[in-house]
Every structure is written in C-alpha cells, then in structure tokens.
Structure 1
Amino acid sequence: MNAIANRNDQATLGIVASNLLTLVVAWWQDWPLALMLWPYWCQSVIIGWFARKRILALGRFSTEGVRINDRPVDPTPQTQRSTANFFTLHYGLFHLVYFIFLLAMSAMSGEPAAAGGGTQVIEPSFDRIQRSDVLLILGLSLSFWFSHRASHREHVEADLRRVPNIGTLMFVPYLRVIPMHLTIILGMALGDDWGRLLFGALKTVADVAMHRIEHRWLQGAIAGKPQPDAIE
C-alpha cells in the first residue's frame, strides 16, 4: 500500500509540475491567454482519446443508471461500443467548438491598432504567433501525451480487476472542461495576466482532483476492495 501511495504522490507532483511548466512558459513567452489555452486544449483532447480507449478496453462493466434513448441498457459489447461512440461525438463536438473559439481568440490577441478618429481597435491577425510558440505548444502537448498514456495503462489494468460503471467513466473526463468554461467567461474580463493565473489555478485543481478520484478507484481495485459501482 505504501508503494501505491508513493506512486500516487509522484503522479500528483507530476500533474502539478506539468501545469506549472505550462504557466511558466506562458509568462516567459508573454503569451496572451488565448495562446496559453492551446496546450491545455491539446491535453483535454488527449484525455478524451484515452478515455475512449479505456471504455473500449473494459472487460466487465456495470450499466446501473445508464440509459440510451431513455431506456436502461444491459452491459453488452453493443452498449460498450455505443457508449464509446456517443462519448466521442459529444466530447469531440465540445472541443471542435473550443477549437474554433480559440482560433478566433488567437486572431484577436494582437496589439490594438489605431482606427479613424483615434479609436483603438484590434485587427484579427496571427502575426504575433511565432514558430517558436507553435513548437512550445507541441512540446507541452507531447509531455501531456506521455503522462496520460502511462496513467491510462495503469487504469486499464485496474479496470480489468473490477466492474466499473461505464457511465461514470464516460463523464469523468468532463471535469477537465469546467476550467475552460470558467476561464472563457471570467478570464477574458480579467485580462491576460490575471486570466493566466486563474486558468492555471483552476486547471491544476481539476487535474489533481480527477487524478485523486481515479487513484481511489485504482487503489480499491488493487486491494481487492468491493467497489460501489460493481455488480454483485
């Protein structure tokens, strides 16, 4: 049990460190809030990718409380595929909207330009985004990929030892979407500096909370404890 706790502590520190690294890079490069959101958007897509793989990798699972077309369903391979496909469509549409919104935010994050009558306006432009920014975003996203791939393998191994609720697994990744909602609503009003701090704090709290929840399930499975969502 101590080894499990140590791995969990190391994983938590890794989550905090990766989020702080992104925040440090954003401050170092003087990124506007829109640019800082890109590596986190990539991380959220990566989470969705591995969540779908996790659903499809389930051996046994519970469908308690899960309804399709307003009808309860049985834990069958067809239900498993339907759930994975629904999650992919719904989660994907969320992130497609975010992608379009971030493109607009990035284009509008340039310096104000003078218009007629001395009015200051922001002209849509991607000129401020440098190749180095793109490379840094890809590098941060790659680090997220490797960290979540390692967690995915551990979670799949634990899932095979228990009977998780497939509905719960489908909705857990949406915990990562909440900070984006709050940042878009509040961060823009606070400006880039406070917006970066707000998003960094919200994202780190959400990441750590989600990891703790998954680790609790994992620890119970390894210890052979009965799970609250298991089929008796």
Structure 2
Amino acid sequence: MAVKLRLTCVACGSRYVHAAEVARQSTILLSQRVKDRREILGLVLVNCLVLAAAIFGGWSNFSLMLTYWAQSVLIGISNAVRILRLQRFDSVGVRYDEGIRELANREKRKCIVSFLSHYLFFCLLHLVFLLVLGKGLYAVDLFFGLCLIALVFELMLEHRQQVTVDRQTVPNLGLMFITPYMRIIPMHLVIIFAGQALDSLGGMLLFGLLKTAADVGMLLVAQGPRRKSLGQHCAELSQTG
C-alpha cells in the first residue's frame, strides 16, 4: 500500500512540475510577443522621427535615399554571409544538415551566387538613378560617413543575433533569399512614381512610408522563427501532458 501511495505521489508531483513548465513556457511566449510588438512600434517611431527631422531640417531626399541604399547593400552582404554560415536549413521541403555537408554547401553556394548577382544588380541600378536624378543634391560628407559607421555597427549586432537564431532553428533558404528584396521595392516605387519630383515633400513622404513598411516587413520575418520555435515547444509540452 505504501508503495502504491508513493507512486501516486511521484506521478502527481510529475504532473505538477509539467504543468509549471507549460505555464513558464507560455509566459515566455507571451513575453516574446509583447517584446516583438514593442520592437515594431519602436521601429515605426524611429522612422517617423527621422522623417520629421528630414522634413523640418531641410534634408535632401537624395541624401536620405543614398543612406538607405548603402544600408541595403550592407544588408545584402550580411544576408549572404548568414546563408554561408548556416549549419542546417530547409529548401523546397528538403532539410539539409551536417549529415549531408557537401550537398548542403553546394546548395548554399548556388543560392548565394544567385542572390548576390540579382540583388546587387538592383542596388547598382538604384545608385545610377540616384546619381543621375540627384544632380548633386545629395551630400557625401562627415555626417554621411558617421551614418555609415553607425549602420555598420548596428548591422554587426543584428547579424550576430540572427546567426544565433539561425543555429537554434531550421531557417528556410528561400525565405532568406527573398526577404532582403523588401528593401528594393521602396526605391523602385519612389523612382517610378516620383520621377523628377523625387526631392519634393511628396517624394520624401512616399519614400518614408515605403521604407517604414519594408523595415517592419523584414522585422516580422526576423521575429517569425523565434515565435515559431517557442510556440512549437509550448505545443509539445502540452501534448506530452
């Protein structure tokens, strides 16, 4: 009888521990969602402040777009390095890992070459348009140099965080390939629709709106693997209960 009582108590204790773990993971998931929303709101606020500073400070839209262009180039290179450093990933429903290293490396190299050739071509095209339409309205000065240094430092920190997430999850290679193209769209649309009025207030507002949308879109994609991993872990714990 004592043995049965002990087994029952151990089982009950196990259920209590499991329920506590489920509750803890659910709290972490909820906290991550709140943090993700704050990141999005913070990003939107920063973009709005920069746009307001550009408008009331009399900045040239070409200077703003040239900084954005430089950031896009750095993000493209960072994305290629991320792909190269992947330890495991999913591509067209096929999972690649260290067990098939040679095949995985071949797939990564093919993806990097294709990505850089297309993405950097668009970046070069945008630079030509900016130099032609800008007509010297942009300023490559100390402020521009400081902005580039800040962008490089920010991207280094972001790249490190993304690589850590990549190692904890199984990234989708196709999604990694296409995500940076969100930054191509704002430049495309502003150049097409603003044209000669690119440096007007309307052109600056259009660019600011599209840039914010692209930044939020990329942030949502970056947040996805973390939320998915936490959600799957919570679901697995609930099912084992």
The bucket for the TM-score relative to the shorter chain is: 0.7 to 0.9
**Structure 2 match to 1:217:** 225
**Structure 1 match to 2:130:** 102
Structure 1 residues 45, 222: CA separation in 2 closer, same or farther (over 3 Å shift)?
A: farther
**Structure 2 match to 1:39:** 67
Amino acid aligned to 2:226:
L
DSSP-derived class of the 1:155 partner: helix
Q: Separation in 2 of the partners of 1:75 and 1:218? A: 27
**Structure 2 match to 1:202:** 210
Amino acid aligned to 1:181:
H
Q: Separation in 1 of the partners of 2:147 and 2:35? A: 22
Amino acid aligned to 1:135:
L
1:3 deviates by 4.3
- The unaligned stretches of length 5 or more in structure 1 are 67-73, 108-125, 227-232
DSSP-derived class of the 2:89 partner: coil
Q: Separation in 1 of the partners of 2:51 and 2:104? A: 43
What is the CA deviation profile of residues 146-177 of structure 1, one whole-angstrom value per residue up to 9, with x for unaligned ones?
A: 33333322222122122222121111110111
1:169 matches 2:176: yes
**Structure 2 match to 1:77:** 105
Aligned-residue CA RMSD (Å): 2.7
**Structure 1 match to 2:51:** 23
Q: Separation in 2 of the partners of 1:154 and 1:31? A: 32
Amino acid aligned to 1:174:
Y
DSSP-derived class of the 2:112 partner: helix
Which shifted more, 211-220 or 186-195? 186-195
Q: Separation in 2 of the partners of 1:140 and 1:14? A: 19
1:28 deviates by 4.2
TM-score calculated relative to the size of structure 1: 0.73
Q: Separation in 2 of the partners of 1:32 and 1:78? A: 44
Q: Separation in 1 of the partners of 2:231 and 2:47? A: 30
1:105 deviates by 1.8
What is the CA deviation profile of residues 181-202 of structure 1, one whole-angstrom value per residue up to 9, with x for unaligned ones?
A: 1111112365511110110011
Contact 1:155 1:218 in 2 (8 A): no
Q: Separation in 1 of the partners of 2:150 and 2:55? A: 19
Contact 2:51 2:208 in 1 (8 A): yes
TM-score calculated relative to the size of structure 2: 0.71
Amino acid aligned to 1:200:
G
**Structure 1 match to 2:114:** 86
Amino acid aligned to 1:16:
V
- The unaligned stretches of length 5 or more in structure 2 are 1-27, 95-101, 235-241
- Structure number having the greater helix percentage: 2
Q: Separation in 1 of the partners of 2:217 and 2:167? A: 23
Contact 1:61 1:75 in 2 (8 A): no
Contact 2:67 2:147 in 1 (8 A): yes
**Number of equivalences:** 198
